[in-house]
Chain A
Amino acid sequence: MDYIITTKQLTKKYKSFAAVNNVSLNIRKGSIYGFLGPNGAGKSTTMKMLLGLTAPTKGSFTINGKQFPNDRLSILKEVGSFIESPSYYANLTGRENLDIIRRILGLSKSSVADALELVGLSEFGGRLAKKYSLGMKQRLGLAGALLGRPPILILDEPTNGLDPSGIHEIRNLIKSLPGLYDCTVLISSHMLSEIELMADDIGILNHGRLLFEGSLDELRQNALQSGFAADNLEDMFLSMIDKDNVSRKQRAKL
């Protein structure tokens, strides 16, 4: 199998608390990988480690055959990212914000208009970013990730703050990306219903541990074997989390 991102026993500990615990991910090239888990499961921390924003306590990972920290700059050239909340210069317009990123990445001027067009912000490109609504800031953050159409996208809850039509629009955009220019998307969410509509593969994380990794079909089979209806993956996901929480409590009592 052609994996573009692999992690080996990736661990992040803050004193005695393990935010991410021995997580081994395998993300196929050209796929959309949904990273699922409740709030505080360790999704963002894992993504931050992949971007070099925080150092792993243990374990390693490769992105497109390159390793952190030695290949940090060349990895970041190939990865478009959006973590937690949009990051922008409040004193600059949306277009100027993207132009800063474009210059850092050494892209052509047309890439800014292309990214604005992709996220539907073209007509607001000249407005100061601080005057954007939350949804527009979210789109700007996404445009920053999509700038230059990078081969790998790491998106942490990119639809937060968007209205239902915005969620639908961004979801369709993300879904279309691998077909549009052959990219791989790692996207996180705490809602299976959200991920179900666009992901090819999923990884379920709870309290820093990876509970499941596989395709949606495999998750469906898993659901059937566990006595859940295959069309109700949300229940399957929630029970998986509950079961893990119960066993954690039992382990803690022992």
Chain B
Amino acid sequence: MRTFAIELRKEKRTGVIPLMLAVGILGAVYAFVFFLVQKDTLLNLPLAPMDVLLTQLYGMIMVLNMFGIIVAACIIYNMEFKGSAIKKMYMLPMSIPTMYFYKYLILIIMFFIVIVFQNLALTIIGLTDLPQDTFEFETLLSFAGYSFITSVPVLSFMVLVSSRFENMWVPLGMGVAGFLSGMALAASNNMFLCVHPFVIMLKPAVAMSAQPDTIVVIFSLVETAIFLFSGLWAAKYLRCE
């Protein structure tokens, strides 16, 4: 916990926490405005009201979340490289993998808050704007969990690459390339493409149903574990020579 508190202190003035809060608020505002403007069109789609609420709004929200994650992951490690602060950390009696883990945890917690903000907005829309008795809280919770789980591989991947490159433009470029290639591949039914973390994050956005896909969830969990443990391993074994 002491390392967690230290990592939080390091975030001061980096903009990571305000950025993630802004992503959550923007996503929520987008959901309100889009549903307000497109309500009739959306509710006339040949889909169940809950599917409309969850899948038709998620595309833009997911893009916001993805860019939020990419930028936040870049910032959270860039501040270690700027001013060579990480070099001092190597010379102090602390575990670098623990530092990596708590940076990761901060992003996970912030992203969880983002998801909470956005799903609060969806809950309010569902209760006020969907036809009576069509709002299902369990479905919303399940989709919120699904969107969270499918986003974590991108977060894990981005923290890993940000920790390996001193030049922030490299992970940022990889994030943008991941987004573009993910967009091109997400609509494919080939499940093998789920090895691409950005494709996984896009899967709930291209689906027409709010029901979680078990195979996508399994891919998400496996990739999250692989990227997280790779990052911890790399933090332990690679010194600044």
User: Footprint of B on A, CB under 8 Å?
Assistant: 48, 51-55, 72-74, 76-77, 79, 81, 83, 85-92, 96, 99-101, 103-105, 128-130, 144
Contacts and interface: CB of A to CB of B under 8 A. Distances in A.
22 contacts: A51-B90, A52-B90, A53-B87, A53-B240, A73-B93, A76-B92, A76-B93, A79-B91, A81-B91, A83-B91, A87-B84, A87-B86, A87-B88, A88-B83, A88-B84, A89-B82, A90-B79, A90-B82, A91-B13, A100-B6, A100-B9, A103-B2
Contacts, number: 80
B134 interface: no
B142 interface: no
A144 B88 contact: yes
A244 B10 CA distance: 47
A53 B92 contact: no
B22 interface: no
B85 interface: yes
Interface string B88-116: 11111110000000000000000000000
Contact of A74 (B6, B13, B90, B93): B93
A53 B239 contact: yes
Nearest to A141: B88
Q: What 5 pairs between A and B have smallest CB-CB spacing?
A: A87-B88, A76-B93, A91-B13, A90-B83, A87-B84
Interface residues of B, number: 25
B5 interface: yes
Residue of A77, A89, A129 with most partner-chain B CB within 10 A: A89
Given A87-B87, A90-B85, A91-B13, 19 more contacts: A52-B239, A53-B91, A54-B241, A73-B93, A85-B84, A86-B84, A87-B85, A88-B84, A88-B85, A88-B88, A89-B79, A90-B79, A91-B82, A92-B10, A101-B88, A104-B6, A104-B94, A105-B92, A130-B83
Contacts of A52: 90, 239
Contact of A101 (B2, B92, B240): B92
A54 B239 contact: yes
Interface of B: 2, 5-6, 9-10, 12-14, 79, 82-94, 239-241
Contacts of B240: 53
B226 to A, nearest CB: 27
A99 B9 contact: yes
A53 B90 contact: yes
Contacts of A85: 84
A51 B12 contact: no
Contacts of A72: 93
B8 to A, nearest CB: 11
B239 to A, nearest CB: 6
A58 B94 CA distance: 25
A137 to B, nearest CB: 8
Given A87-B84, A87-B87, A89-B79, A96 B241 contact: no
Contacts of A104: 6, 89, 92-94
Residue of B84, B89, B240 with most partner-chain A CB within 10 A: B84
Contacts of B5: 103
A129 B84 CA distance: 12
Contacts of A77: 93
